[in-house]
A = this chain, B = another copy of it.
Amino acid sequence: MANASAAQRLHEDLNLIINTADPGEQLPSEPVLAQQLGVSRATLREAMRTFETQGLISRRQGIGTFVLRPANVIESGLEVLESIESQAQSIGLPVNFGELDMVCRPAKAGEAEALGLGEGEKITQISRVILAEERPVAYLIDTLPVQVLTCDEIEADFSGSVLDLLLKRGDPALVSSRCEINAVAASSDIARMLNLQRGDALLRFVSSLYDLSGKVVDYSLSYFIPGYFRFHVVRQVVGL
């Protein structure tokens, strides 16, 4: 026990380097840093993963690795459904979105089932990366029936949040959302968009948003970088 692997020692070394560095500072290149720390580049990269998901460093291909100033954390209770944008606004955090991808197409089998539609019925799908203080912090995919939301409506007025758009419109009348929570490893695609390494740990919400009639009006996948969020929930104790 207490058998310090190279990875563990390296983690501490990196911790020191990153905490000592000034925000904005560029670290030595990976080959150089690996040699300085006496490990291979593969091991160094492995150790750097944690610091990335904690929002402490940013690595940009073709440019370099940079130390970030401590991140502002978006804190949120899970009992109520509120958009990231709305939460960020309430703590004065500037948030916008990038890499918006919007399509209108027939629903695939899984999508149709999640939305209570027939396969092939038209859906609107919106994917985007959420940026807080210019840093990618989450990747969101919303899927809705076109009857609920069309691409035109999004182009006309989109703040980054489908929820806020629907609430502003006031129709359909939204009631609640059922949200499944899990941890996943970042795929290549998602890692690239969030500027992470593939395999990094992400928090994933799979949510179904219901209207007054009990219909699903929005099925969404949300990927959050751990270091930028603090989700909590109060759980009631039930007797034996």
Binding site for B on A (CB under 8 A): 5, 7-8, 42, 46, 49-50, 53, 78-82, 163-164, 167-168, 174-185, 187-188, 198-204, 207, 209, 224, 226, 229-240
Task: Kindly list 12 other residue pairs between chains A and B, CB separation below 8 angstroms, not including A78-B181, A164-B240, A177-B237.
Answer: A8-B188, A79-B233, A81-B237, A168-B240, A175-B237, A176-B236, A182-B203, A183-B224, A185-B200, A199-B199, A207-B235, A209-B237
A216: shortest Cβ distance to chain B, in Å? 13
Please determine whether A181 and B232 come into contact, CB atoms closer than 8 angstroms.
Answer: yes
User: Given contacts A188-B7, A226-B182, are A234 and B176 in contact (CB under 8 A)?
Assistant: yes
Please report the C-alpha to C-alpha distance between residue A12 and residue B38 in the assembled complex, in whole angstroms.
36
Which listed residue (B177, B185, B226, B239) contacts A53, Cβ 8 A? B185
Please determine whether B80 and A238 come into contact, CB atoms closer than 8 angstroms.
Answer: yes
Please determine whether A176 and B232 come into contact, CB atoms closer than 8 angstroms.
Answer: no
User: Given contacts A80-B238, A237-B174, are A180 and B5 in contact (CB under 8 A)?
Assistant: no
What copy number does this chain have within its complex?
2
Closest residue on chain B to residue A8 by CB atoms: B188
Please report the C-alpha to C-alpha distance between residue A164 and residue B209 in the assembled complex, in whole angstroms.
34
Please report the C-alpha to C-alpha distance between residue A198 and residue B237 in the assembled complex, in whole angstroms.
34
Please report the C-alpha to C-alpha distance between residue A142 and residue B167 in the assembled complex, in whole angstroms.
41
Chain B residue contacts of A53, Cβ below 8 A: 183, 185
Chain B residue contacts of A176, Cβ below 8 A: 234-237
Please report the C-alpha to C-alpha distance between residue A181 and residue B9 in the assembled complex, in whole angstroms.
27
Chain B residue contacts of A184, Cβ below 8 A: 183, 201, 226
Query: Which of A46, A49, A199, A229 lies at the interface centre, i.e. has the most chain B CB atoms within 10 A of its CB?
Result: A199
Closest residue on chain B to residue A177 by CB atoms: B235
A175: shortest Cβ distance to chain B, in Å? 6
Closest residue on chain B to residue A174 by CB atoms: B237
Please determine whether A198 and B234 come into contact, CB atoms closer than 8 angstroms.
Answer: no
Which listed residue (B174, B199, B207, B235) contacts A80, Cβ 8 A? B235
A136: shortest Cβ distance to chain B, in Å? 16
